[in-house]
Amino acid sequence: MIPYDFDYYLPDTWQEAVDIYHTLKADAKNPLYYGGGTEIISMARVGSVRPNAVIDIKKIPECQSFGTDGTKLFFGAALTLATIRESGLYPLLSLATGRIADHTIQCKLTLGGNLAGTIHYHEALLPLLLADATIHIANAQCIREVPICDVLNMNGKLTPGELILMVSLNKRYAAYPYAHIKKTKAEKIGYPLVSVAALNVGGTLRLAASALCSFPFRFKDCSFADARPAMDIVRELLADLPEPVLSDTEGSAAYRQFIFEKTAEKIITGFRNGGSHA
Amino acid sequence: MLKISGKTIITFNINGSAHEVTVRPGDTLLEVLRSRLGLTGTKVGCENGDCGACTVLVDGWPVKSCLMLAVEGVGRAITTIEGLTNTPVQNAFANFSAFQCGFCTPGFIMVCHSLLMHHPNPDDYTIESWLQSNICRCTSYQEISAAVRSLIKSDA
């Protein structure tokens, strides 16, 4: 039970959603956009968040976008991770979302919630960073479509009141060899010690990581087609981190770095051997 | 745009029947099912989405009812353990003694029923990944696994 009252809004359009958000804000209320609600409910129950209103985005058509127009793939913000996982439309995204929380939670947790929530791992972001995805964001004036790397890479945030409607990406990224490896401290289900996603784009390695630093990010692309040992490539990647390796109760910085090195080495070796996924 | 503020009467479709109930937006589906509708087969466990004891089906998919607002249930087909009486999954759990204390059993049955609806012939990875959503403190996992596997079509 959430031990206080709040209002529940179910807008039919993104304009209604954004309008009511700003109206409530102007009224000194504290509204939250609501997708799956798993994070909001669990935090509200213990008093970590206290919204006066939640704005449920599940009826907004753009937030339910799903499929392809032949060239691009579309994933609405209100799609559950289970829907994305089961679809296999973008296999790397299916694999990564299939390792977030447990299966039943994936039936409630939404793509938008994972991208915009407060839990800093945002593992669904990794495959989208690698595919140069476009994020469609509604604000009070319009929908803006911008590269997701420009908005959410390295702890980027939305402007308050902005609403993620969907992400889109070129369909060709669904055909590249891919890999995703998630390591946890102990259990199969849990927050990542490191979570690494990779695409092999014609001999160029695209790699993104979550939990290695305090935010998810994409490394600079590099070639792995030469004869260098895989670990040399990994060390080059580590030399260009955006911030020091994370150290917390899940794992020390040295341990996380060790796990990342072995994980990235395995991915590179797998790509060199013609592997398509891990 | 629908707005629900304070106590409001809403209509649920639960186990194929319409139910009118008074809810506030902060009520979870779990407490409405148990406290207002008397559907106490859905169990209260961690109330944090970890244990799976409160699992119900929403439009055929398993959902932990402690992490769903009751107001989200409007217009959705909700199935609780009371709606799965004498189903093959329930019978398989009985036949394979896939429980000890029975507290987690309704949640496991909901997940297994949904799994077999969506994947009539699941592979080991699929079975494991679906069942990882639930915890049994009596550790009846082997018997639960045997019960599910007994219903796989290719094994029938």
A111: its two tokens: 């793509």
Query: Per the domain annotation, does A85 fall within a domain?
Result: yes
- Terminal CA-to-CA distance of chain B, rounded, Å? 49
In a domain, residue A87? The reply is yes
Secondary structure (3-state) at B79: strand
Q: Is the pLDDT of residue A278 over 80?
A: no
CATH label, B2-80, candidates 3.10.20.30, 3.30.70.20, 3.40.50.2300, 3.40.50.1100: 3.10.20.30
For residue A5, give Cα distances in angstroms to A1, A81, A139, A206, B6: 11, 29, 27, 46, 7
Q: Is B112 on the interface with A (CB under 8 A)?
A: no
Task: For residue A277, tell me if it sits in a domain.
Answer: no
pLDDT band, residue A186 (cuts 50/70/90)? confident
Q: What is the mean pLDDT of residues B82-105?
A: 96
Domain end, chosen from A124, A155, A173, is at: A173
Residue A197 resides in a domain: yes
- Condensed to tens digits (0 to 9), the pLDDT of residues A209-263 reads 999 999 999 999 999 988 899 999 999 999 999 999 999 998 999 999 999 999 9
- Phi first, then psi: give them for residue B15, nearest 5 degrees: 50, 35
Q: How far is residue A277's CA from residue A254's CA, in Å, rounded to a whole number? A: 27
Token code pair at residue A1: 């039970």
Show residues of chain A in contact with B61, CB under 8 Å: 80, 82, 107
Indicate whether A141 and A180 sit together in one domain. no
Q: Note the pLDDT of residue A276.
A: 66
User: Does the pLDDT at position A274 exceed 90?
Assistant: no
Looking at the domain assignment, is residue A218 inside a domain?
yes
- A8 and B3 within 8 Å at the Cβ level: the answer is yes
Min CA distance, B7 vs chain A (Å)?
10
Q: Does A42 touch chain B (CB under 8 A)?
A: yes
Q: What is the pLDDT of residue B156?
A: 44
B37-79: per-residue pLDDT in tens? 999 999 999 999 999 999 999 999 999 999 999 999 999 999 9
A258 — contact with chain B (CB < 8 Å)? no
Q: Are residues A36 and A110 in the same domain?
A: no
Q: How far apart are CA A188 and CA A237, in angstroms?
A: 27
Domain, as residue range, for A236: 176-272
% of chain A with per-residue pLDDT over 90: 92
Burial B74-102 (b: 16+ CB within 10 A, else e): eebebbbbbbbeebebbebbeebebbeee
pLDDT of residue A277: 61
A82 in a domain, yes or no?
Answer: yes
Mean of the per-residue pLDDT values for chain B? 95
| Domain total of chain A | 3
Neighbouring-strand partners of residue A217: A209
On whether residue A1 sits in a domain, the answer given is no
Q: Examine the domain organization and report whether A72 and A142 are in the same domain.
A: yes
For the structural domain made of B84-149, what CATH number should be given?
1.10.150.120
Q: Pick the residue from chain A with its C-alpha nearest to B111.
A: A104
Q: Do residues A51 and A98 share a domain?
A: no
Nearest-CA distance from A105 to chain B in Å?
Answer: 7
Type of residue numbered A277: H
Q: What is the mean pLDDT of residues A150-171?
A: 92
